[in-house]
Amino acid sequence: MKLSEKHINFKNKCKKIIGEKIQKIEYAEINYNPEKPTPFFETRSSKIHTIDYSIFFITEKNTIEFYWDSEFTQYALGIKINEKTIFTKTIKWNLSENEFWKNVIGQKIKAVEIGWENEFGEPYPQFITIKFENTTEIYISAAEFINDDDKIAFGFKDNLLVSNDKKIALETKIIM
């Protein structure tokens, strides 16, 4: 696959997070119920979370945001490092103590792999695999389950799905 300068810049930005030690994980979700804020990230599987906007990895030196973005196409993955988020009217949830993230807190990122899709003539980042020193892997995709009983994720969506289980991520098409 031939990558343009824009693609190479994205790839290089992702590589910048290698070596970062995770101190905190936050989700930013649309605040659907301002009178009684409630998290909406849980799914029927304890190995998959759904986030309507972004995930923040807070490290010793940086704040890394993964979000659905339109740089390449309408709904793809984006990454920001120490940049102001573009989303307002969201509520943040600290997931650092959540069982889902327990194997990531205190760990250094050792590799980042980008899953490129090419359905519209130009490659775009559909999912990212983040590998940690302790062999934990996290899979983030611009995708969602449209209905509660869907068995596979639909990509190219204004939502993030994140999994900490490779088998489930593959079975549900969070990654390919």
Q: Is the pLDDT of residue 79 over 90?
A: yes
Tell me which of 124 and 13 has the higher pLDDT. Answer: 13
Q: Is residue 143 part of a domain?
A: yes
Q: Is the pLDDT of residue 140 over 80?
A: yes
Provide the mean pLDDT of the chain.
Answer: 91
Is 119:142 a contact under the CB 8 Å cutoff?
Answer: no
Q: Is residue 27 part of a domain?
A: yes
Q: Is residue 79 part of a domain?
A: yes
Q: How many domains does the chain have?
A: 1
Give mean pLDDT, residues 77-86: 91
Q: Is the pLDDT of residue 74 over 90?
A: no
Q: Is the pLDDT of residue 156 over 70?
A: no
Tell me which of 127 and 146 has the higher pLDDT. Answer: 127
pLDDT at 152: 82
* pLDDT one-digit tens code per residue, 33-51: 889 998 989 888 899 999 9
Q: Is residue 176 part of a domain?
A: no
Sorting pLDDT into bands at 50, 70 and 90, what band is 62? very high
Q: Is residue 131 part of a domain?
A: yes
Residue 83 belongs to domain spanning: 5-171
Q: Is residue 100 part of a domain?
A: yes
Q: Is residue 97 part of a domain?
A: yes
